[in-house]
Amino acid sequence: MDPAFWKARWESQQIGFHQSGPNEYLTRHAARLTGGLEARVLVPLCGKSLDMTYLEGLGNHVVGVEVVEQAVFAFFADHRLAPKREALGKVERFSAGGVEILRGDIFDVTRAALGPVTAVFDRAALIALPGAVRAKYAPHLVSLLDAGARILLVALTYDESRMKGPPFCVPEAEVHQLFAKSCAIELLEESEGIDKPENERFRTRGARSILEQVFLLTVR
């Protein structure tokens, strides 16, 4: 992961990955993710995602991880919150109410800094990383979790000859390759997403089909 790349995207406001509301797959499957109970939910590479406020509104405590300081400031400013700041080794914690964001590289996040989490919502982390980094990210993510923790994962499959990432193409076979040794994997749903308004940027980049797949992973 190249922090400079994402910092430049935020500085130029090239943040098409930011959605104007909570993710549709999260709203449909939040109960499966948390087991219907209040949970402590990790949102890696969170940006200023409204998924965090949605999860908090369900009674969960949310921990985001974001490398770009501007994105962290934007989240709290958008919600008119003045977060408490605390240094935690290589990362810094910003917290207000039921949301905290660890500002730093996801690979610098330790169990000690993160604290116990029982659920993860990954809509835009795995697919934001190139292949070699995904191979490092998956075991690192699982290493932060205890057995029984659940990950709601959104992955995309498309023709890479027509469009280059990010977001990157992560087909079902790769999801199994990355997680099958450590997690039980259930495909919850899949759908064609190329005609969704929020995916117009993919059409302008040349994509003709975007298969969106949603997985529930349970750590063994």
Q: Distances from the Cα of 91 to the Cαs of 49, 66, 67, 176, in angstroms? A: 19, 10, 9, 30
The vertex-129 CA angle with 154 and 47, nearest 5°, equals 70
pTM over 0.75: yes
166 preceded by a cis bond (ω within 30 of 0): yes
> Tell me, what DSSP letter sits at residue 71?
H
pLDDT of residue 13: 65
CATH class entry, domain 3-219: alpha beta
**pLDDT of res. 36:** 86
Q: What is the mean pLDDT of each run of 10 residues along the chain (220 residues)?
A: 68 61 95 93 96 97 96 95 95 96 97 96 96 97 98 97 95 98 98 93 94 98
pLDDT at 1: 56
- The 3-state DSSP composition of the chain as helix, strand, coil percent (nearest 5) reads 35, 25, 40
What pLDDT is stored for residue 151 in this prediction?
98
The pLDDT value recorded for residue 136 is 98
